[in-house]
Each structure stands twice: as C-alpha cells, then as structure tokens.
Amino acid sequence: MIEYLDLGLLPLANNLKPTSESAKDADRYPLQVMFCPECGLSQLSVVVDPEEMFSNYAYRSGINQGYINHCWRMAKSLIAKFGLTYDTFHIDIGGNDGTLLKVFKNVLHHKVLNVDPAANLTETAEYSGILCITDFWGDNCLPLIEDKADLITATNIFAHLDHVGAFMRTCKKALSPEGIIVIENPYLIDFIEDMEFDTVYHEHVTYWSIKPMMELCCDNGMKLIDVEKQCIHGGSMRYIISHEESNHIPSQSVAVLSKEERVKGFDKVDRYLNWSRDIKNVIDDFHAKLLELKEQGQSVIAFAASAKGNTLLNSAKIDSNLISCIIDETPDKIGMFYPGTGIPILAIRNIMKILPDYIVILSWNFQKEIIDKIKLLGYKGSFIIPIPAFSVVE
C-alpha cells in the first residue's frame, strides 16, 4: 500500500458536541489515503471502530430533497430494467431513516426491510411503516430474515465498510437465485478528477472504481453485470451485481468503463501522487481567500453541517473567526458545534437575521437546491463554492 493523501489528525466528522470547547477538544485520528497497486483500491490507513461512528447518526436522508429525487429515479430505472413487481422483497442495507424504501414501497407496495445500526434512524423509519433490524449487516441478521431478497440495495454505505468480503458473502446468502445487489458509491475517478478530497473522512474507509469491485465480486462467487454513472454526490457509480451462476449477462458498460479507467492512468500510483499535490494548493487557497474576506470586513457563514464540510474546514484550519456559524436543517444538529472547529450550528431562520455577505456551501454536491432554497428566503448576498476550487456565485 502506498500513501498518497495525508490530511493530518482530524476529528470524526459527525461527532458533534454540545459546546464549542468540547468540539475543539474532540478526539482526532489520522486521516490518510493509501493506494493498492495490485487491486486498484484506495483506503484509509487507520480504521475507527464503527460502533463509535454509526450507533447514533445525525445525518437523515429524508431531509435532502435532491436525494429523494434520486431515489425516485432509481426506482423507475430498476423497475424498468429488471421487471420488479409488487411481490419483490427488498432489503436496504444502511437504509438510514427509510427514505429509499419508502419510495420503492410507494411505487410497488412490495415487502421492504431496512437494516441499519443507528437506533435513532430505525425508530424514525419504523414510525413511517418500514420494518427494521437495528444492527450492522452481517450473518447475525440472517436468522431474522424470513425470505431470500430479490433486491438488495446499499447506497452510500459501501465506502464505510472495512470487511467488504464478509459484507458481500452475507449479501450472497440473503439473495434469491436471480436477485440483484445494487451498490451506489462515490466514484473514485470523479473523486480525483473533480478534486473532491473533502469526501475523505473516517466513515469513508474505501474509495472504489470498477477494477476492485470486479475483483471483489469474483472472489465471492458474484459477478458485476452493469455499471451506471450517477450525478449525485459529486459523481457516483451504480454497481449492479448478481450470483455468478445467475442468468444475468454483463453489459458492455462494464468493459468500456473499466478500460477507460486504465487509459486515464488510474491503475498507476503517480496519478494519485500528482493529485495530492494539487489538493494542498486547493486547501491553502481556500484558507487564504477566507482570510482576505475577513480582512476586508466581509462576513461569512456556511450552509450544511456535512461530513465533507468538516474535512474541508479542519484541513484548511478554519474556525469561527473566519466562518461565524453553520446553517443546517437537521434537527439533531441544530444547537450543536462542529467537531474540531467549534463553529456553532444554527437553524435556517438565522440567515435573514445575520444577513452575511457570503455563504459557503459545504454540501456543494447539492449546491443548486441549497442556493435556490436560500434565495427563496430573500437572501441577496453571494455564495462560495469550495470544490473543485474556490469560486463565487452571485
């Protein structure tokens, strides 16, 4: 393994604290990304105990309209492509508050099950009529599942896994003979090409492209039958997987995109080392430009107390002197403080009380929805988009 990105000692991104001081004093862990020349996988050098990160989780899928819209598009696409019907049994792994399953249930009225370790989120899902198992996905869940699943989804949780082989083997045991597994994950190639270093945080243990996904499937009696690029989260890949012995035939897109990765040099470590040097410039430039605005007497706040925002602000050594507060709509986050920086998190109604000159959009992957929402409040100031480079939107 070869290290190519070192962001230093950073706190857990979603470890919000009740006071500014406790947030600044939050435990920190190394945040370094390594590259495997043999399989092409990128992964963190240090893995934090999942219990510490996921047993109580502040992020809620249902608050993000952009994600909800994406779920509807996914449902329509999979129903059309695989002929899913009302008797489909669908398991969503890491299903959060049940947002994805609610969409599929509304379309097909089929049997659904959410498996998620965060009790606060499964409680919300169950209130919406979604059956849940509150636990980490593994063989321990299988005795609680009555039938084989026709569809298993895992959206934006695969990167969180350390033991991916065990995860895939449990999926294989739970999947019907002609069933499919749908994994969506931030795509390594977009991550590199669009300078998305802020998607590195301790919850994201691995960073995937097609080559390592194909090898993972092959090693566990599965096959990758389709890949589809998605725009969500700054560029994601949808991997569709079946049993090796199933009747599903791999599409041409698997071979085409796999070859494209090799042509672009993503199987060579130099591609990553050069990128890392550019990232240092992005981080330094972000800090310098915020400092310049401060010296000009301009006021700056941020929107979205996201995990990626925490990586950005901590790696750039930003505190409440440069960004006075972060606006968020998640009830569990409001009134808390951002780990490492100690910046307070306030409700959206505070924007028009503060009337800042600039708002940094930390969840830049949903910038259009966020900017439209803030403008509807009557805000007339400017927006800062930090990735792939510092830019101002009027």
Does residue 23 share a domain with residue 56? no
Could you tell me the two tokens for 92?
């969503």
Does residue 135 share a domain with residue 77? yes
At 215-256, the pLDDT tens digits run: 999 999 999 999 999 887 778 999 999 999 999 999 999 999
| CATH number reported for the structural domain that contains residue 17 in this entry | 3.40.50.720
Residue 274 lies in a domain: no
Overall number of domains in the chain: 2
* DSSP letters for 217-270: HHHTTEEEEEEEEE-GGGSEEEEEEEETTSS----HHHHHHHHHHHHTTTTSHH
Does residue 201 share a domain with residue 80? yes
Query: What CA–CA distance (Å, rounded) separates 309 from 319?
Result: 12
Residue 206 lies in a domain: yes
Handedness of CA 217, 222, 223, 227 (dihedral sign): negative
- Return the pLDDT at 58: 59
Does residue 153 share a domain with residue 191? yes
Query: What CA–CA distance (Å, rounded) separates 360 from 313?
Result: 11
- Return the pLDDT at 62: 65
- Return the pLDDT at 52: 74
In a 10 Å sphere around its CB, with 0-12 CB exposed, 13-18 middle and 19+ buried, how is residue 321 labelled? exposed
Q: How many CB atoms lie within 10 A of CB 6?
A: 14
pTM for the complete prediction?
A: 0.85
Does residue 245 share a domain with residue 318? no
Residue 275 lies in a domain: no
Domain that holds residue 174: 50-267
| CATH number reported for the structural domain that contains residue 56 in this entry | 3.40.50.150
- Return the pLDDT at 238: 96
Residue 59 pLDDT > 70: no
Q: How many CB atoms lie within 10 A of CB 394?
A: 6
- Return the pLDDT at 55: 60
The distance of Cα 197 from the centroid of its chain, to the nearest Å, equals 12
Residue 330 pLDDT > 70: yes
Phi–psi pair at 320, nearest 5 degrees: -70, -10
Closest CA to 311 of 184, 204, 211: 204
Does residue 89 share a domain with residue 193? yes
Domain boundary among 228, 251, 267: 267
Residue 351 lies in a domain: yes
Side-chain half-sphere of 239: how many Cα atoms within 13 Å?
A: 29
Domain boundary among 247, 267, 287: 267
At 161-199, the pLDDT tens digits run: 888 999 999 999 999 999 999 999 989 999 999 999 999
- Return the pLDDT at 361: 98
Phi–psi pair at 352, nearest 5 degrees: -80, -15
Residue 288 lies in a domain: no
